[in-house]
């Protein structure tokens, strides 16, 4: 059976392996055919003849009349197997004219040698939508859809067309005309139109774009369209891999396309990062953020589809995870933004800039960016976490720098308190931030290292500063400034308090560590202070009575001890348990200084009072109260200065002076400087003792002494002298012993000697009463603070000598009279 073949050859300069692509067009002719010469040979010779007519003399094939259209339709309606014409689809009849004339006219159109530029352009536009002719190749109809899906390369040029039965013509005009040559135009086919539902069901095929065109879409931020083309190109590469035999190398064209996909995704992700960065710096058009969000969602759909096709089992490839990369882009943009605030300047300025930048950016995110994202993106929390982590990174770098102690305090306080109060607790942000999801700004190891450095720096600095303060104070002692006040305690306490408060403002744990460090350092300092003060006291004892500056300076030192004692108590409360040992060591040093100062002041006072106490309980004392009045006057004068001592040290001092005065007074009574030889004299002595005891009580009450337990002592001795009968005396001795358990027999015996009228029997009975009190007393011995008579020395007891009066029968009265006169003279 004769077959007409027309071969159109298309050469592509970009196809490296396939060679020319031949499009075969065949027409199976019917069984009945007119005898005679072959009309196709004649026509072909005409087409290839260089003497063919000019194209201007021929009719334009795209404007053929109805006859030509009918002939083409008839050839389409003829059965390809039997050659018998089928019923026409339109107008129901056949027009005259055979297949031969139709083919002649069709081939005649191809003899056009030249066309005008407008005609060429018109033909080029129409050829894109032209259906392939069934005369060329029946398979082309089914392959057309596949060929349209093949991606055009950005660098492809128009391919030359080759006709198999004639010589190849060169030149752009011939190539273009032969590429567009077709026997039938789609818009000229008289086919029955499809129903409306079928026309709608036919999918519209998108024309593939080149890599350069897709990249241009990315640069223009038409991200959704660009992403769609990238996904198609990626799927095309996957199909090529799946269709290639296992183990076989893919073509270079496929490898280049994979590289194109990678480059396009890199460009797409880069543009997404730019949008994220710009969204913080300035107000972006809403369309940019919308394009970014839609692109992320399309990629997530592609990831799910890839996983559904079993892509994970094949390994490698797809999941782009653009939402995760978006979060990373947010984190990177935030880190870059915060790093710009870590410029020069102090740590205070740097932290202030970081705070202001973070607050302003988060407010902008809440107002401007949240509406542009879907709710499931949790965009505000993503930005909050990114800023939290970005600040943590900046602060870790700052923590590695060499910071001074004040800068370190400010840094730790900002990290632990100011950040959560002023940044995360900002009035416009706090209700939107999930603080429980945010961890600490600094790792625990970094915090421990910084706190250890802080404690070490505190110890070194306060030790140096306290030593300097003590040296300054010693210089004032040597100069003898004579002031009643010292700033040593205030300066040292202020120095320590600053460290304790600044550290506690950062964290409670750091505050406890610094408080313990300050307590230990203060205990060491007070030991040095006590040794220096001890040297000052020794200097005063060596030069006793010289220099009026001693009393004021001693008072100042006692006040310093009181101030330190109170501060040590407060420090110890901050570190319970651990600070007890250091507190005890510091208190011992202060006690030594305080006791030494009180002793010095008391001895200085009694150096002046001692001559007046020596005049008490003598005959002149009964006649004049001058010596006692000198004692009270001196006490009042000294206490005008001693009242400048702070409360607790003053109370200790006045109680000590009160006790010492009572002891000196009782000692004068128990020295038996006077013996009463009559009832009247006993009454006079008892009255003076009672009066002066009341005056001392009133004096020390005015001086705010709390040692009231000392007041009854003088009154008891006065009653022992005043009472007449031995039984009453015995009862008063019992009252004295009950008030002062440290009374001894020699004290009672001395008082009985002052009376001068107690015989030996009564004396023995009274002293036995004292022994009964001692045996019946099962309580503990009085403390040293409550001991009174134990510190009073008495005269040695005089033993009675047994004399035989017969030896003194001649002059007994004269001998005793001489004894009395001598005794009175010595008094």
DSSP 380-443: HHHHHHHHHHHHHHHHHHHHTS---HHHHHHHHHIIIIIIIIIITT-TTTGGG--GGG---SS-
348 pLDDT higher than 60 = yes
pLDDT digits (tens, 9 = 90+) for 409-439: 999 999 998 998 889 888 888 888 888 778 8
Write out the two tokens for 398: 């700052």
Lowest mean pLDDT among 178-187, 456-465, 476-485, 547-556: 178-187
d(CA 179, CA 10): 8
Maximum C-alpha span of the chain: 214
Q: Which residue, among 105, 14, 21, has the nearest Cα to 66 in the 3D structure?
A: 105
183 pLDDT higher than 80 = no
Q: What is the mean pLDDT of residues 572-578?
A: 86
Q: What is the mean pLDDT of residues 184-206?
A: 49
CB 533 within 8 A of CB 593: yes
Enumerate long-range contacts of 679-682, CB under 8 Å, 24 or more apart.
679/724, 682/721, 682/722, 682/755, 682/756, 682/757
214 pLDDT higher than 70 = yes
pLDDT digits (tens, 9 = 90+) for 219-235: 998 899 988 888 888 88
Q: Dihedral, CA atoms, 124, 129, 135, 139, nearest 10 degrees? A: 120
Cβ-Cβ contacts under 8 Å for 544 (sequence gap 6 or more):
604, 607
93 pLDDT higher than 60 = no
d(CA 378, CA 375): 6
d(CA 143, CA 134): 12
Q: What is the DSSP string of 728-753?
A: HHHHHHHHHHHH-TT--HHHHHHHHH
Tell me what pLDDT residue 342 has: 67
DSSP for residue 27: E
**Mean pLDDT computed over every residue of the chain:** 74
Alpha-helix runs per DSSP H in 425-549: 444-479, 488-506, 508-542
CB 617 within 8 A of CB 671: yes
pLDDT digits (tens, 9 = 90+) for 727-756: 899 999 989 998 998 898 899 999 999 988
For residue 347, with 0-12 CB atoms within 10 Å meaning exposed, 13-18 middle and 19 or more buried, which class applies? middle
Q: Which residue, among 699, 584, 686, 678, has the nearest Cα to 634 in the 3D structure?
A: 699
* Alpha carbon 543 to chain centroid, angstroms: 62
Tell me what pLDDT residue 306 has: 82
Q: What is the mean pLDDT of residues 293-303?
A: 89
Tell me what pLDDT residue 775 has: 52
Question: pLDDT band at residue 281, thresholds of 50, 70 and 90?
Answer: confident
89 pLDDT higher than 60 = no
For residue 489, with 0-12 CB atoms within 10 Å meaning exposed, 13-18 middle and 19 or more buried, which class applies? buried
Residue 161 phi, psi dihedral angles, 5° rounding:
-110, 135
d(CA 182, CA 25): 10
Position with higher pLDDT, 458 vs 121 = 458
Residue-wise over 109-147: b if at least 16 C-beta within 10 A, else e? bbbbeebeeeebeebeeeeeeeebbbbbbeebeeeeeee
Tell me what pLDDT residue 302 has: 87
88 pLDDT higher than 80 = no
pLDDT digits (tens, 9 = 90+) for 311-323: 666 666 778 889 9
Question: pLDDT band at residue 636, thresholds of 50, 70 and 90?
Answer: very high
Task: Give how far Cα 579 sits from Cα of 519, 569, 588, 593, Å.
Answer: 7, 10, 14, 21
d(CA 497, CA 501): 6
d(CA 464, CA 521): 10
Q: How many CB atoms lie within 10 A of CB 739?
A: 14
d(CA 663, CA 710): 9
Task: Give how far Cα 662 sits from Cα of 415, 523, 656, 708, 719, Å.
Answer: 64, 37, 10, 11, 17
Tell me what pLDDT residue 433 has: 86
Q: Which residue, among 758, 744, 720, has the nearest Cα to 794 in the 3D structure?
A: 744
Question: pLDDT band at residue 160, thresholds of 50, 70 and 90?
Answer: very low
d(CA 715, CA 697): 11
Cβ-Cβ contacts under 8 Å for 501 (sequence gap 6 or more):
none
For residue 571, with 0-12 CB atoms within 10 Å meaning exposed, 13-18 middle and 19 or more buried, which class applies? buried
Tell me what pLDDT residue 769 has: 74
Question: pLDDT band at residue 690, thresholds of 50, 70 and 90?
Answer: very high
Q: SS in 3 state form for 591-644?
A: HHHHHHHHHHHHHHHHHHHHHHHCCCCCHHHHHCCHHHHHHHHHHHHHHHHHCC
Q: What is the mean pLDDT of residues 13-33?
A: 41
Write out the two tokens for 737: 């012993």
Q: What is the mean pLDDT of residues 769-777?
A: 61
Cβ-Cβ contacts under 8 Å for 638 (sequence gap 6 or more):
605, 608
186 pLDDT higher than 50 = no
């Amino acid at each position: 059976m004769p077959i007409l073949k027309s071969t159109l050859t298309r050469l592509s300069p970009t196809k490296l392996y396939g060679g020319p692509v031949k499009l075969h067009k065949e027409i199976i002719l019917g069984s009945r055919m007119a005898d005679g010469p072959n009309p196709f040979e004649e026509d072909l010779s005409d087409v290839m003849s260089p003497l063919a007519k000019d194209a201007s003399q021929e009719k334009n094939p795209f404007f053929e009349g109805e006859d030509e259209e009918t002939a083409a339709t008839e050839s389409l309606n003829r059965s390809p197997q039997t050659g018998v014409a089928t019923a026409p689809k339109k107008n129901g009849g056949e027009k005259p004219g055979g297949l031969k004339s139709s083919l002649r006219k069709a081939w005649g159109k191809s003899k056009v040698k030249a066309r005008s530029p407008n005609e060429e352009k018109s033909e080029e536009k129409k050829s894109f939508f032209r259906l392939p002719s069934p005369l060329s190749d029946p398979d082309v109809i089914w392959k057309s859809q596949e060929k349209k899906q093949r991606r055009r390369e950005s660098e492809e040029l128009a391919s030359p067309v080759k006709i198999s039965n004639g010589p190849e013509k060169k030149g752009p005009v011939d190539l273009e005309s032969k590429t567009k040559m077709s026997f039938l135009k789609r818009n000229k086919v008289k086919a029955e139109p499809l129903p409306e539902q079928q026309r709608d069901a036919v999918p519209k095929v998108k024309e593939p774009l080149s890599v350069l065109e897709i990249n241009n879409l990315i640069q223009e931020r038409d991200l959704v369209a660009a992403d769609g083309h990238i996904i198609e190109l990626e799927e095309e590469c996957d199909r090529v891999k799946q269709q290639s035999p296992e183990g076989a190398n893919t073509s270079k064209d496929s490898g280049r396309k994979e590289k194109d996909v990678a480059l396009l995704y890199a460009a797409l992700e880069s543009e997404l990062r730019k949008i994220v960065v710009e969204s913080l710096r300035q107000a972006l058009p809403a369309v940019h953020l919308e394009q970014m969000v839609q692109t992320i969602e399309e990629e997530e759909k592609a990831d799910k589809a890839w996983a559904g096709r079993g892509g994970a089992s094949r390994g490698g490839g797809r999941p782009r995870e653009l939402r995760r990369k978006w979060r990373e882009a947010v984190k990177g943009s935030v880190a870059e933004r915060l790093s710009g605030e870590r410029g020069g300047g102090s740590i205070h300025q740097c932290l202030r800039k970081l705070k202001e930048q973070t607050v302003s950016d988060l407010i902008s995110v809440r107002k401007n960016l949240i509406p542009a994202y879907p709710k499931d993106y949790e965009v505000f929390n993503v930005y909050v976490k990114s800023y939290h982590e970005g600040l943590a990174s900046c602060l870790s770098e700052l923590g590695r720098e060499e910071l001074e102690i004040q800068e370190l305090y400010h840094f730790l306080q900002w990290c632990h308190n100011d950040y959560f109060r002023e940044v995360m607790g900002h009035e416009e942000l706090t209700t939107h931030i999930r603080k429980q999801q945010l961890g600490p700004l600094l790792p625990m190891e970094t915090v421990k290292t910084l706190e250890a450095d802080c404690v070490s720096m505190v110890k070194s600095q306060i030790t140096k500063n306290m030593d300097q303060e003590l040296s300054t104070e010693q210089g004032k002692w040597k100069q003898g400034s004579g002031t009643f006040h010292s700033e040593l305690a205030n300066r040292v306490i202020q120095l320590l308090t600053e460290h304790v408060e600044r550290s506690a403002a950062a964290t409670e744990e750091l505050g406890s560590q610094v408080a313990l460090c300050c307590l230990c350092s203060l205990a060491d300092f007070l030991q040095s202070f006590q040794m220096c003060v001890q040297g000052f006291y020794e200097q005063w004892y060596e030069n006793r009575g010289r220099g009026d500056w001693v009393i004021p300076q001693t008072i100042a030192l006692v006040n310093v001890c009181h101030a330190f004692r109170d501060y040590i108590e407060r420090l110890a409360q901050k570190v319970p348990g651990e600070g007890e040992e250091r507190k005890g060591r510091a208190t011992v040093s202060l006690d030594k200084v305080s006791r030494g100062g009180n002793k010095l002041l008391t001895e200085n006072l009694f150096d002046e009072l001692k001559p007046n106490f020596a005049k008490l309980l003598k005959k002149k004392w009964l006649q004049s109260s001058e010596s006692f009045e000198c004692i009270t006057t001196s006490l009042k004068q000294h206490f005008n200065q001693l009242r400048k001592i702070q409360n607790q040290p003053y109370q200790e001092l006045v109680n000590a002076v009160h006790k010492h005065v009572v002891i000196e007074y009782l000692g004068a009574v128990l020295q038996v400087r006077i013996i009463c030889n009559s009832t009247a004299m006993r009454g006079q002595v008892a009255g003076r003792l009672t009066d002066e005891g009341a005056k001392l009580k009133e004096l020390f009450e005015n001086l705010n002494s709390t040692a009231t337990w000392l007041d009854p002592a003088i009154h008891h001795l006065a009653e022992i002298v005043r009472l007449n009968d031995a039984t009453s005396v015995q009862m008063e001795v019992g009252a004295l012993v009950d008030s002062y358990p440290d009374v001894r027999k020699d004290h009672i015996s001395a008082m009985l000697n002052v009376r001068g009228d107690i015989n030996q029997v009564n004396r023995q009975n009274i002293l036995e009463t004292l022994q009964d009190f001692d045996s019946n007393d099962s309580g503990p011995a009085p403390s040293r603070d409550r001991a009174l008579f134990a510190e009073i020395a008495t005269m040695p007891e005089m033993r009675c000598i047994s004399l035989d009066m017969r030896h003194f029968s001649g002059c007994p009265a004269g001998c005793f009279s001489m004894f009395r006169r001598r005794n009175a003279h010595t008094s």
